[in-house]
Amino acid sequence: MILQSLQIALESLWANKVRSFLSMLGIIIGVGAVIAIVSVGSGSSQQVTSSITNLGSNMITIYPRVARGQGGRIVGENPQEKFSIELAAYMEKFCPSVTQVIPVKQVSGRLIAGDINVNATVVGTEPEYTAVNNYEVEKGSFISNNDNQERNQVIVLGSQLAEDLFEGENPLGKRIKLSYGGQSYLFEVKGVMKEKGGSLSGNLDNQAYLPLAVSLDILTNSDYVSSYIAQAASSEKAATAVSELNNFMAKVLDDENQEQFQLMSQDEILDTVSSVTATMSIMLGGIAAISLLVGGIGIMNIMLVSVTERTREIGVRKALGARNTHILFQFLMESLSLSSIGGILGIIFGWITAYFISQVGNWPLVVAPLSVGLAFGFALCIGIFFGLYPAMKAAKMNPVDALRYE
Amino acid sequence: MANLLIQVKQLKKSYRLGKVIVEALRGVSFEINQGDFVSIMGPSGSGKSTLMHILGCLDYPTEGKYFLSSQEVTQLNDSQLALFRNQKIGFVFQQFNLLPRLTILRNVELPLTYNKVSPPNKRELAIQALEQVGLGDRLQHKPNEISGGERQRVAIARALINHPSLILADEPTGNLDSKTGQDIMQMIDKLHKEGNAIVLVTHEVEIARYAKRVIHLKDGLIERDEVIA
Ligand SMILES: Nc1ncnc2c1ncn2[C@@H]1O[C@H](COP(=O)(O)OP(=O)(O)OP(=O)(O)O)[C@@H](O)[C@H]1O
Ligand SMILES: [Mg+2]
């Protein structure tokens, strides 16, 4: 009986192709929207998450806040002038959830190799920088403790920078010039880093790395670093580490209101991102669900028209021996076919949309089977729910009245 | 009375239209034997169609009893009635009542699809029935592609397909010219000769004369029950 009702249903839908398609449109758009939205949501958050994780493991960055000035003069103390190298060691000591703290001094300079020159961020740092950043060496080696002690004028290049400066040649052992603050300094290339890609603090591949001591004593002649990079013992301890560091800095800088420094942690960013994407998903999912609902009402509307239009057909079928359940199934199958065909078209439509958006947004195409199943199942339920009333109306029709209907 | 097919006792049917109650049948009793050919005549509004609907198990009477093949139809529920219509009754309507979207073959198959167990050879049975009414070569045509007389023949084939005990024809020639009407009547007469019981409603005396018996209705009552020699 089901198969037979299905055949009748498909025939009658086919007889009114345009109308059937139009009444499916709501479902198509609804299902498509659900799939596209969920896919875009998870694709983009996967991209953001991976780029944040890419930053390093359980990283917390500590910056000085920009000093407030008045009429060209800095008012009060410059917070920058409290960020000393020694502070890093104290942090390690007084914050038990922090495994290590690396001071960083970065400047913008111009690197010159032969007749090629490139503007780049030059980061003065210590050997542990690579571990904290999940950063690996491709060729040669990274800055060593010895380089820092000896103030060796060696430089390690990010992958893109190496490519830009040496265009495929092996840069190891080559000499390059760094022009900074009107002076030129000669460096020997000690290593080239593996490709890492973008991260929240910029593209590591476009940076160069020097011994911290060189950056402080030779380039800038300064006692203060630009920031610290701290690593929490584990991702569970990240939150504790953040509060320990906050307390520590507030005490040391005598800055209860945290006006002079700022912490940025990877987990915090991840949390924010995932809560933002979750809210977005719920909101957009709600909109999609409403459009599915509207689609269902559209189907009900068309089914009611169809039942009225075919009153006489119902009468004839009943006269020939169709039971109420036959008629019920016939019309239920029709609305179910509408919603399931609409659902399938919606899946295709949503998939294609998600694909194009992922191409534009440059993130992976993630279509969760769960969202497909859920959207399709919801569409079917809507087909049954909104088809039931018209189908029952058809089934209950009195055959004599139906036969008399003009 | 071994071959009694229909027995109606004091059938009454009234319709309520707002406050007015229309009495379409006001106490009708008669019997019809298996293989009988009965015409029902009467002026418009006399209750002929109402009676046919009750005989065809499409409607319940307000009062009275109706036995078909010694089953009390008035005690059956909706789906048992549907089965009765399917198995025991073949309808031929004035307006043909074919489904316009289906081919005539599918139209004729229709009653078989509503059988309790629908036979696997539906198609062959339908083709046979259509050949019987001389339309074996028009199987894939739609109802709007054939003439009125041909449509009525399709309806007859459809009425026959389940080998019903009773064929009900409500003014089957009403929408046809007299020549085509005669053809249809000859076909119905042939069915009668083959042993089918037929109840026919008509306005026309010549048509009614095909039957062996004419029941005259007036204002919901039997005015005359006449046997034609
Ligand atoms: N569904 C209904 N609601 C109200 N009144 C009805 C209904 N069906 C029939 N009637 C009334 O019952 C009476 C008998 O109607 P019926 O259709 O049986 O007449 P008929 O003899 O078939 O007439 P005709 O020759 O015009 O077909 C009429 O007065 C009609 O108005
Ligand atoms: Mg009538």
Q: Which of chain B's residues have a Cβ under 8 Å away from the Cβ of A312?
A: 97
Q: How far apart are CA A9 and CA A21, in angstroms?
A: 14
Identify the contact set of chain A against chain B, taking CB-CB distances under 8 A. Answer: 4, 11-12, 15, 312-313, 315-326, 398-400, 403
Distance from CA of A318 to the nearest CA of B (A): 7
Residue nearest to atom 4 of ligand 1 (CA): B15
**Looking at the structure, do residues A109 and A224 belong to the same domain, yes or no?**
yes
**Looking at the structure, do residues A160 and A196 belong to the same domain, yes or no?**
yes
> Across the interface, do B82 and A398 touch by the CB < 8 Å criterion?
no
- Determine contact, residues A334/A326, Cβ cutoff 8 Å: no
> Across the interface, do A398 and B101 touch by the CB < 8 Å criterion?
no
- Determine contact, residues A123/A219, Cβ cutoff 8 Å: no
> Across the interface, do A403 and B58 touch by the CB < 8 Å criterion?
yes
Establish if A56 belongs to a structural domain.
Answer: no
SS3 call for B108: helix
Best to test chain A binding among B76, B99, B105, B158 (most A CBs inside 10 Å)? B99
Query: What does the pLDDT look like over B82-137, one tens digit per residue?
Result: 999 999 999 999 999 999 989 999 999 999 999 877 778 889 999 999 998 999 89
CA B8–ligand 1 middle distance (angstroms): 19
pLDDT at A73: 57
**Looking at the structure, do residues A47 and A136 belong to the same domain, yes or no?**
no
* A316, A321, A323 ranked by CB distance to B97: nearest: A316
Establish if A190 belongs to a structural domain.
Answer: yes
Best to test chain A binding among B15, B77, B89, B101 (most A CBs inside 10 Å)? B101
Establish if A233 belongs to a structural domain.
Answer: yes
The DSSP code sequence of B156-180 is HHHHHTT--SEEEEESTTTTS-HHH
What value does the mean pLDDT of chain A take? 86
- Which chain B residue has its CA at the smallest distance from A4's CA? B113
**Looking at the structure, do residues A297 and A171 belong to the same domain, yes or no?**
no
> Across the interface, do A320 and B93 touch by the CB < 8 Å criterion?
no
**Looking at the structure, do residues A210 and A107 belong to the same domain, yes or no?**
yes
Domain boundary among A259, A284, A305: A259
Domain boundary among A259, A283, A305: A259
> Across the interface, do A322 and B82 touch by the CB < 8 Å criterion?
yes
Return the ligand number nearest the Cα of B41. 1
**Looking at the structure, do residues A218 and A281 belong to the same domain, yes or no?**
no
Q: Is any ligand 1 atom within 6 A of the Cβ of residue B48? A: yes
**Looking at the structure, do residues A222 and A85 belong to the same domain, yes or no?**
yes
CATH number of B34-62+85-227: 3.40.50.300
Return the ligand number nearest the Cα of B46. 1
Query: What does the pLDDT look like over A361-392, one tens digit per residue?
Result: 888 888 888 888 888 888 899 999 999 999 99
> Across the interface, do B82 and A321 touch by the CB < 8 Å criterion?
yes
Name the domain count of chain A: 2
Residue nearest to atom 14 of ligand 1 (CA): B47
**Looking at the structure, do residues A333 and A200 belong to the same domain, yes or no?**
no
**Looking at the structure, do residues A226 and A286 belong to the same domain, yes or no?**
no
pLDDT at A81: 81
Q: How far apart are CA B129 and CA B123, in angstroms?
A: 10
Establish if A264 belongs to a structural domain.
Answer: no
User: What are the strands, taking DSSP E only, across chain B?
Assistant: 4-17, 20-33, 37-41, 63-68, 71-72, 89-92, 166-170, 197-201, 213-218, 221-227
pLDDT at B1: 46
- Determine contact, residues A241/A97, Cβ cutoff 8 Å: yes
**Looking at the structure, do residues A91 and A70 belong to the same domain, yes or no?**
yes
**Looking at the structure, do residues A279 and A400 belong to the same domain, yes or no?**
yes
Is B111 within 8 Å of chain A by CB?
yes
> Across the interface, do A399 and B158 touch by the CB < 8 Å criterion?
no
Q: Is any ligand 1 atom within 6 A of the Cβ of residue B17? A: yes
- Which residue range forms the structural domain that includes residue A252? 66-259
In this prediction, the residues of chain B whose per-residue pLDDT falls under 70 are 1-2, 229
Q: Is any ligand 1 atom within 6 A of the Cβ of residue B15? A: yes
Q: Is any ligand 1 atom within 6 A of the Cβ of residue B24? A: yes
Establish if A60 belongs to a structural domain.
Answer: no
Distance from CA of A11 to the nearest CA of B (A): 9
pLDDT at B38: 95
In this prediction, the residues of chain A whose per-residue pLDDT falls under 70 are 51-57, 67-77, 197-202
Q: Which of B155, B162, B196, B153 is nearest to B82 (CA)?
A: B162
Q: Which long-range contacts (CB under 8 A, 24 or more apart) does A171-179 make?
A: A171/A113, A172/A139, A172/A140, A174/A113, A176/A111, A176/A112, A176/A113, A177/A111, A177/A112, A177/A113, A178/A109, A178/A110, A178/A111, A178/A112, A178/A122, A178/A208, A178/A219, A179/A109, A179/A110, A179/A111, A179/A112, A179/A117
**Looking at the structure, do residues A72 and A204 belong to the same domain, yes or no?**
yes
Q: Residue B46 CA: which ligand 1 atom is closest?
A: 21
Tally A–B CB contacts below 8 A: 60
